[in-house]
Structure 1
Amino acid sequence: MGEGPELTTERLLLRRWRESDRAPFAAMNADPAVMEHFVNPLSEADSDAFVDRMEAGFERDGFGLWAVEVRETGDFIGFTGLSRVSFDAPFVPAVEVGWRLAHHAWGRGYAPEAARAALGFAFETVGLTEVVSFTAPVNQRSQSVMRKIGMRPDLDGDFDHPRVPEGHPIRRHVLWRIGVDDWRTT
């Protein structure tokens, strides 16, 4: 849909979104396993609106949440990338590194591989000095990715996510951080 920065890793291509990504992305966002640590799965319309917001992020910021494909096959497997945190929290303003992959792509090391590339772009190209990530405490898979890419938990940074309803089991979130100096040494 848009032109812009692409990132390549050993096995993956992080690229701008294509119209052909919408259907597999909607299927992924409707998968209860993929959406286990979110308030609820996304409808097709909500998934499409998310793609539009991700593309707008590239236009606005020069970076965003890239569509991820496996280079060998060209298969779309989800997204990974950078986004400005758009809600109010004690650590904002901040840029988050995030990912969401289709269930069939789990357990292959794709999330940390893609996230490392996104962090490299954040620090080496954009010139950021810190990147954050956050998730519900029960989301051990995402926290494992955070650990693998050199992030550290901010034990004083846990917060109630303002976009999660009060009383919801995933309202509380843990905050992880990585600074440029830590990035350079990992």
Structure 2
Amino acid sequence: MREALGTGGYGFASGILLPFQKLMLPVSASRESRRVPVIMSTRCSFGHENVPTGRMLMITYETERLILTPIQHGHEAELFKLNNDPLVRKANFNDVPQTIESVHEWLNRYSAQWRKNKFGVWLVYEKCNAGPMFIGRCGLQDYDDSTNPEFAYAFFEHATGRGLGPEAARFTITHAFRNSTKKKVIGFIAPGNERAERAANKLGLRYIDDRLYDGNISKYYEMTREEYFSKHH
């Protein structure tokens, strides 16, 4: 199971509470980023629908416009909805409808990587007057046998075009570098995805060459720790 950078929309652990250190973001990453305990609103907007969340107390981080929380078991409804969004499904799953069983597989994978790496993939909510609105997922995940984590994200179409993807990306990459000794972040973009290419360039990811990714040729990007912090200081 894989996903390429910038796939969702048009853009780029077993229920435990994970301990995090206070994260100091570069100024350009956000005017405000703090760790806060919140209870997600009892009703949270998914596109044009309102779906009850009934979530337990979770530790989250805030940026200027976003609330982010590590993906864990209990997020089945959000991930099922996102993975079956027409654009996300086409980009990530060859337009095959996703089942709740496949969602559980993804949750097992994400949770295991959080436990191992102390960083990973986050659910992303936009701050709204009526309560946090779920808009996608974003973060870093293990890539095959590489020691370099792969960056990938998927957003609903209605959340694209306002800079929310880059805002989430800066947070998740900063968190990964601050909480690990990883030297590099990598990403893959399908040919013709110009929006994702622009987003990658803004983040500082450099095109290296074309490589085989999940059976298809994709554009391979990477960025070192030093390159990232020199750009987002």
TM-score (normalised: structure 1): 0.82
Please name the residue that 1:168 is paired with. none
Please name the residue that 2:12 is paired with. none
- Which one of the candidate residues 122, 137, 141 is aligned to 2:195? 141
Tell me, in whole angstroms, the C-alpha distance in 1 between the residues paired with 2:86 and 2:105: 19
Tell me, in whole angstroms, the C-alpha distance in 2 between the residues paired with 1:117 and 1:184: 12
Q: Is residue 7–residue 14 contact of structure 1 (8 Å, CA) maintained in 2?
A: yes
- Counterpart mapping for 1:108-127 below 5 A: 108-127=162-181
Q: Deviations over 1:37-61 (max 9, x none)?
A: 2333423321232122112211122
- Which one of the candidate residues 183, 196, 204 is aligned to 1:150? 204
Structure 2 alignment gaps of length 5 or more:
1-14, 21-59
* Greater strand proportion: 2
Of stretches 134-143 and 95-104 in structure 1, the one that deviates more from structure 2 is 134-143
- Which one of the candidate residues 115, 123, 136 is aligned to 1:78? 136
- Counterpart mapping for 1:35-50 below 5 A: 35-38=89-92, 39-41=94-96, 42-50=98-106
Please name the residue that 1:167 is paired with. none
How far off its partner does 1:2 sit?
2.8
- Counterpart mapping for 1:10-89 below 5 A: 10-17=64-71, 21-38=75-92, 39-41=94-96, 42-72=98-128, 73-86=131-144
Tell me, in whole angstroms, the C-alpha distance in 2 between the residues paired with 1:152 and 1:47: 31
Structure 1 alignment gaps of length 5 or more:
165-170
Distance 1:183 1:20, change over 3 A: same
Residue-pair matches, total: 173
Identical pairs, percent: 26
Q: Does 1:3 align with 2:17?
A: yes
Distance 1:135 1:18, change over 3 A: same
CA RMSD of aligned residues (A): 2.0
SS at match of 2:71: coil
